[in-house]
Every structure is written in structure tokens, then in C-alpha cells.
């Protein structure tokens, strides 16, 4: 799920993470691997949001990769793992 700026800000207000800039050297590789998403990095690894089935105004945080080292410089991909964290976009102005 590709997010607009308001959705990114709403997401960041609900989870402790950083957005990977679209012009980051690894962004194109991540898009090739995982599809067109806004990518978030947190203390556990790489996350994206996927729309929930029940409502299009919410997204669930899904983990795609964990940090492979203590310096947080290498990621180990794994099967998409829903975290149970739901981000509500119903009050976001587009």
C-alpha cells in the first residue's frame, strides 16, 4: 500500500518507525521484492501497511523482514507477518 503524506504522518503517530525515503538506494530493490509500498523501518525490521478486508480506511502493519544484526544494517526477509497493529485513516484528509 503506497501512502500519501497525511497517511504517512498518521502512521508515524501510531507506531515508532521511520519512513524509508523513495529515493533511498535500496527502495527500488524493496519495491521489486515486495511490491509498491511505503516502507517503514523500526527497531524490529521492515514493515508495510496492507489494507484491511473490513474497511478501506484502515491498514494493518505487516512485517516483511527482521534485522539480521545488532547494528541494524542488514535485513533478513521472511513471509509477510501481520502484526495486529491497525492504523486508522478515517480522519485523514487526502
Q: Is residue 93 part of a domain?
A: no
How many domains is the chain built from?
A: 1
Asked whether residue 19 is domain-assigned, the answer is: yes
Asked if residue 54 has pLDDT above 90, the reply is no
Q: What is the extent of the structural domain holding 48?
A: 5-88
3-state class of 49 per DSSP?
strand
Residues 79-92 have a mean pLDDT of 89
Q: What is the DSSP letter of 8?
A: H
Please give the share of the chain, as a percent, with pLDDT higher than 90. 78
Please provide the average confidence, as pLDDT, over all residues in the chain: 91
Residue 66 inside a domain? The answer is: yes
pLDDT tens digits for range 7-50: 999 999 999 999 999 999 999 999 999 999 999 999 999 999 99
- Mapped onto helix, strand or coil, the DSSP state of residue 11 is helix
Q: Is residue 46 part of a domain?
A: yes
How large is the greatest C-alpha to C-alpha distance in the chain, in angstroms? 38
- Going 68 to 24 to 48 to 53, the CA torsion angle's sign is negative
Q: CA-CA distance, 28 to 1, in Å (whole number)?
A: 15
According to the model, what pLDDT value does residue 57 have?
A: 84
Confidence of residue 89 (pLDDT cuts 50, 70, 90): confident
Amino acid at each position: 500500500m503506497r501512502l500519501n503524506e497525511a497517511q504517512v504522518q498518521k502512521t508515524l503517530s501510531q507506531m515508532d518507525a521511520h519512513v524509508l525515503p523513495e529515493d533511498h538506494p535500496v527502495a527500488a530493490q524493496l519495491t521489486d521484492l515486495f511490491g509498491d509500498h511505503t516502507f517503514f523501518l523500526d527497531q524490529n525490521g521492515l514493515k508495510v501497511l496492507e489494507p484491511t478486508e473490513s474497511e478501506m480506511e484502515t491498514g494493518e502493519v505487516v512485517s516483511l523482514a527482521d534485522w539480521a544484526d545488532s547494528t541494524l544494517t542488514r535485513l533478513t526477509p521472511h513471509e509477510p507477518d501481520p502484526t495486529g497493529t491497525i492504523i486508522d485513516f478515517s480522519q485523514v484528509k487526502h
